[in-house]
Amino acid sequence: MKRIVILGSTGSIGASTLDVVAKFPDRFQIVGLAAGSNDQILEDQIRTFQPKVVALSSPTAAKRLRGRVNTLQVEVLEGESGLCEVARFPECDLVISAIVGGAGLKPTLSAIQAGRQVALANKEPMVMAGQLMQQEALKHGVTIFPIDSEHSAIFQSMEGHRKTDIRRVVLTASGGPFWDWAATDLEHVTPEQALKHPNWEMGNKITIDSASLMNKGLEVIEARWLFDLPIEQIDVVIHRESIIHSLVEYCDGSVISQLGHPDMRTPISYAMNYPERVPLHPPVLDLGKIGKLTFFPPDTEKFPCLQLAYNALAGGAGLPATLNAANEVAVHAFLKNQIAFLAIPKVIQETMTAYSPTPLSTIDDVLEVDQWARRTAEEIMKTCVAPV
């Protein structure tokens, strides 16, 4: 029996993880859950999965929850410290890191520093502090298993091969809902349009990141640290159908990839059961019926966020954390209709230009850059014209 903690249990990845757990009650036991402020969903999850400890980052929501579950055997913690406590809960074998954004950095790090194995969906902490996180993982004997479908595909395509034989990895990207739109039409994109992803059902922030191609940029940086590969060996191709989840090309010309219907339960289950596979009974992948798979080079002029992420990775130091923070702030504002879709890359670029490199040797250094970048992006946004 594997004992599981889920950070971000009320979100899209959290729900898919609980779905896998519910299918295999003889394999998994939920011991801890954590989320932001959704006490209603968390209460339902407590009643179904009976964790020993839960946390909400919002103290008000945690107070409401305590009032409703006080007859149950569960401890309700609150705030960032509560989340970190759940992440390092002693009777746990695997922590699923699925909070959205930089808010997941401290809890995920807390799990690593307590020596818990980690399955990582929450890519933003890897973007902000990938090198430091991997150093901590090495120090504490922790393996970080990828959940992101692209990274899971790369992980699976590397199994049984020598890393030194890799020529490059290629991350596939659906291209999002606006791939074939004219550049001028992007000026009038609304949050509702951007939230309609062609292939995946996901949380709001990653869906907007997919529409701007920032998600792929964040994934390039994530791949850099997850697989310890240099930037020159990480490429991106647009693959509209999201059937090939990424590829690894070897020095002899062999290209190995992992395919499947777009369903996050597959990579989640692989990370949870590694090295075993368990039957999830998805529909058969009938390539004859699918007929054709299409590929295009990414258009970084129309979607500058991908290039900005490569620039941030190449620039190093606090630039990836700056990129991530500015993106979080800009996406949040776009979702609230405060800035236009095309203002997202503008805000990120200007925040990155304002950054003066400082050495980053601790997580606190990273968090300082993160806070500075958020303040700077907020200031820059004041100069953006609000969408009509």
Ligand X SMILES: NC(=O)c1ccc[n+]([C@@H]2O[C@H](COP(=O)([O-])OP(=O)(O)OC[C@H]3O[C@@H](n4cnc5c(N)ncnc54)[C@H](OP(=O)(O)O)[C@@H]3O)[C@@H](O)[C@H]2O)c1
Binding site for ligand X (CB under 6 A): 8-14, 35-38, 57, 83, 98-100, 103, 121-124, 148, 200, 202-206, 264
Indicate the residue among 52 and 216 with the shorter CB distance to ligand X.
216
Shortest distance (Å) from residue 262 CB to ligand X: 9
Which of helix, strand or coil describes residue 57?
coil
Shortest distance (Å) from residue 150 CB to ligand X: 8
Indicate the residue among 245 and 346 with the shorter CB distance to ligand X.
245
CA proximity to 56, closest of 48, 90, 40, 92: 40
Report the C-alpha gap between 80 and 109 in whole angstroms: 12
**What backbone phi and psi angles, to 5 degrees, belong to 21?**
-60, -45
Indicate the residue among 3 and 151 with the shorter CB distance to ligand X.
151
The two three-digit tokens of residue 381, written as one number: 């946004």
Rounded to 10°, the helix 12-23/39-49 angle is 10
Indicate the residue among 92 and 103 with the shorter CB distance to ligand X.
103
Shortest distance (Å) from residue 184 CB to ligand X: 29
Shortest distance (Å) from residue 49 CB to ligand X: 14
Shortest distance (Å) from residue 226 CB to ligand X: 12
> For ligand X, which residue has the nearest CB?
11
Shortest distance (Å) from residue 331 CB to ligand X: 11
Which of helix, strand or coil describes residue 95?
strand
Rounded to 10°, the helix 123-139/214-226 angle is 10
Report the C-alpha gap between 257 and 220 in whole angstroms: 17
Indicate the residue among 238 and 384 with the shorter CB distance to ligand X.
238
Indicate the residue among 332 and 384 with the shorter CB distance to ligand X.
332
Per DSSP, the residues of 10-31 read TSHHHHHHHHHHHH-TTTEEEE
The two three-digit tokens of residue 357, written as one number: 């490199």
The two three-digit tokens of residue 48, written as one number: 């179904």
Shortest distance (Å) from residue 31 CB to ligand X: 17
Report the C-alpha gap between 276 and 282 in whole angstroms: 17
Indicate the residue among 29 and 152 with the shorter CB distance to ligand X.
152
Residue 50: other Cβ atoms inside 10 A: 13
Q: Do 168 and 62 form a contact (C-beta atoms < 8 A)?
A: no
Indicate the residue among 130 and 384 with the shorter CB distance to ligand X.
130
Indicate the residue among 176 and 384 with the shorter CB distance to ligand X.
176
Shortest distance (Å) from residue 203 CB to ligand X: 2
Shortest distance (Å) from residue 385 CB to ligand X: 28
Q: Do 329 and 340 form a contact (C-beta atoms < 8 A)?
A: no
Residue 263: other Cβ atoms inside 10 A: 16
Report the C-alpha gap between 378 and 248 in whole angstroms: 39
Which of helix, strand or coil describes residue 336?
coil
